[in-house]
Amino acid sequence: MTTKKLVLVSGANGHLGNNLVRLLLSRGFQVRASVRNLDNSAALQDLPCELVAADITDKASFTRALQGVDTFYAVGAAFKLWARDPQKEIYDVNMQGTRNTIEAAAAAGVKKIIYVSSIAALDYTHTPTRESNGYNPDRRDAYYNSKNDGEKLAFQLARELGIELVSVMPGAMIGSEAALPLNVSYDVLRLILTRQIPVDTGISLNWVDVKDVAEGCYLAALHGKPGERYILANEKCMSISDTTRLAQKLYPQLQLKIPAAVPKIVLYTIAGLMQFAARLQGKAPVITTKDIAMFSGLQQDFNISKARTELGFNPKSSEEAVREALAYLMEHQELL
């Protein structure tokens, strides 16, 4: 029997990385899983994968980690929308990480990279948004900027270094295997279940099951065309208020209240106070004025026909993804 080729998943202790490692193991691959700190690998405990330490800001660590690897799933990145110094802690880390890992992969002789970008790197001017719309012209957010510029850099380096690279662009990933701290998207569901969203922000999210995204990454390695980008999300987004209504219906015992509608000026005032407290405490606020300005009223609806046709991507609906994710959180009360 032919042994399947070795693959590396970076950021393997994160939400997507953890679920992708499990999927690839279930498909019979030899999986090498990289994490920044081996002390923070509980999510991978007892999994039959090779665990290595590698940091995207340290090229040499990835040159070592990528030796003998056929396909590299570049998942690891700084995924946060707030930091005291967003340029340094988010943008610079992600840009440096993209360059380091792709140059390391080329040096190690890796044949293919599945580069995990984000729907943040899409132009929402015309909806439903598709890959061919181009890149996001809104430059107000360091994370969004890092995903736009990082993906462009990834394609440029892949061309220069002669390595096959396919970009995948996940929506708001929720569900399945998860550990604290929850990612930004999944944490919104925790905030809903713990009644920490009192007002209607007008924000909608394109919920997608993390297992479907993991499957999409695998399909991109099988069928994705080098130099192409694929949206791994759902066609329709859901507002946070509609998501709360669904949670209210599923868990009446929680006595959840639908967020109250308030004037925009009140939203900005609340967000401003939360930002002020966050800077004092060094802890991310629930909402910022930038979030209101960028995302309130934004419809994150997508045309995913390219991923459906070329990859065979077939995600469960946003509503079903939310149902399953809420059930997971209710079953794992330690995450709340």
pLDDT in tens, 149-208: 999 999 999 999 999 999 999 999 999 888 888 998 999 999 999 999 989 999 999 999
**In terms of pLDDT, which residue wins out, 125 or 69?**
69
Neighbours of 85 (CB within 10 A): 10
| Helix axis angle, 210-223 to 15-26, nearest 10° | 60
Average pLDDT rounded to a whole number, residues 135-139:
95
Q: What pLDDT was estimated at residue 3?
A: 61
Q: What pLDDT was estimated at residue 283?
A: 86
- The CATH code belonging to domain 6-177+207-234+300-316 is 3.40.50.720
Q: What pLDDT was estimated at residue 1?
A: 40
Buried b (16+ CB within 10 A) or exposed e, 130-162: bbebebbebeebbbbbbbbbbbebbbebbeeee
Cα-based distances in Å from 285 to 50, 184, 327? 36, 11, 25
What is the domain partition of the chain in residue ranges? 6-177+207-234+300-316
- Strand stretches in 80-124, DSSP E: 112-116
* Residue 142 · residue 86 · CB < 8 Å: yes
The helix (run of H) or strand (run of E) holding residue 295 is helix 289-295
Q: Report which residue type is found at 143.
A: Y
The end-to-end CA distance of the chain, in Å, is: 45
State the pLDDT confidence band at 216, using cuts at 50, 70 and 90: very high
Distance CA 29, CA 178 (A): 22
Cross-strand partners of 256: none
Token pair in block for residue 331: 């079953």
